[in-house]
């Protein structure tokens, strides 16, 4: 069984130090597209937490007990994409039935979780670093929490920016990209934690 101390270090490292969006630059499409309002960003973050955590568990089990046993590890990427697509369909159906407002607010970005490279990146990272199933789940959860923290912070900043007098050339996406860059620099400060 994994050491609790190592799992806690992995939790901090994956969520803050190696933030999937701000240091690995994975998942930028929903990060930039859904971060206009805090509520929508939090909803997307919750969906990503669910999908990445569950995908880490399912892909870990499939990799360890099916792909490695049959010596067909070369199928990892294809199998992982199929698993992620199925999980996103489940989340989409769930949100459509239980939270139609959030479902409409997320719009096209919800199905884009399927192609969110952060989800696939976590599954492949778990395999490449030879994490066990529990460690992979912790890594997936922490990575998704890091994504959620980053997208909610950016959404909060974007809401505040709407009330500021920004020079015309910087309005819209330029100021958002500048803000994301400054956030990435700020998150580099967490590297001293480990």
Distance CA 43, CA 152 (A): 10
Question: With the C-alpha atoms ordered 79, 65, 52, 6, is the resulting torsion angle positive or negative?
Answer: negative
Token couple for 71? 């010596």
pTM of the model: 0.88
Q: Cα(144)–Cα(136) distance, rounded to whole angstroms?
A: 12
Q: Which of the four pLDDT bands, split at 50, 70 and 90, describes residue 162?
A: confident
pLDDT (tens digit per residue) in 6-51: 999 999 999 999 999 999 889 888 898 888 999 989 988 988 898 8
Give yes or no for residue 116 having a pLDDT over 80: no
d(CA 72, CA 74) in angstroms, rounded, equals 5
pLDDT tens by residue, 54-111: 999 999 999 999 999 999 999 999 999 999 988 888 888 888 899 888 788 777 777 7
Residue whose pair of structure tokens reads 């489940």 in the numeric block: 90
pLDDT beyond 60 at 53: yes
Residue 1 has pLDDT above 60, yes or no: no
**Spatial separation of the C-alpha atoms in residues 103 and 110, rounded to whole Å:** 8
Q: How far is Cα 24 from Cα 83, in angstroms, rounded to an integer? A: 23
């Amino acid at each position: 069984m994994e050491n609790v101390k190592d799992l806690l270090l992995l939790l901090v490292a994956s969520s803050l130090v190696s933030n999937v969006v701000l240091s690995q630059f994975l998942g930028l499409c929903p990060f930039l597209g859904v971060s206009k309002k805090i509520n929508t960003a939090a909803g997307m973050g919750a969906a990503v937490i669910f999908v990445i955590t569950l995908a880490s568990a399912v892909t870990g089990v499939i990799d360890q007990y099916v792909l490695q046993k049959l010596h067909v590890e070369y199928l990892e990427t294809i199998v992982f994409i199929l698993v992620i697509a199925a999980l996103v369909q489940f989340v989409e159906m769930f949100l459509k039935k239980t939270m139609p407002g959030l479902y409409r607010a997320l719009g096209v970005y919800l199905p884009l979780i399927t192609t969110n490279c952060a989800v696939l990146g976590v599954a492949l990272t778990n395999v490449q670093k030879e994490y066990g199933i529990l460690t992979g789940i912790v890594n997936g959860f922490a990575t998704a929490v890091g994504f959620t923290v980053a997208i909610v912070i950016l959404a909060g900043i974007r809401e505040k920016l709407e009330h500021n007098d920004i020079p015309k050339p910087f309005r819209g996406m330029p100021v958002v990209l500048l803000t994301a860059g400054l956030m990435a620099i700020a998150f580099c400060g967490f590297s001293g934690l480990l």
